[in-house]
């Protein structure tokens, strides 16, 4: 299981050269599932997912502010 994303700062004309994975750290114990993504009218992106790495389910999140923030 893997949660990953990519991002464009120019309305989709170009993208990051490589997707960013939430488990890209070597030896990561991340066990993500049920990811959800949302954005606001300023262009910020929010990703939430469930994670059971601690032996019980918790919510984790990542917030990516608009490039101008």
Determine whether 32 is exposed, middle or buried from the number of CB atoms within 10 Å of its CB (0-12, 13-18, 19+).
Answer: buried
pTM: 0.57
Model pLDDT, residue 28: 53
* pLDDT higher than 60, residue 65: yes
CA distance 30 to 32: 6
* pLDDT higher than 50, residue 26: no
* pLDDT higher than 80, residue 15: yes
* pLDDT higher than 50, residue 17: yes
User: Per-residue pLDDT averaged across 32-36, rounded?
Assistant: 81
């Amino acid at each position: 299981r893997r949660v990953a994303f990519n991002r464009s700062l120019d309305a989709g004309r170009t993208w990051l050269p490589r997707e960013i994975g939430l488990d890209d750290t070597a030896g990561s114990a991340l066990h993500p599932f049920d990811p959800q993504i949302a954005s606001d009218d300023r262009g910020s992106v929010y990703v939430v997912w469930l994670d059971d790495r601690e032996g019980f389910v918790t919510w984790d999140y990542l917030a990516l502010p608009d490039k101008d923030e």
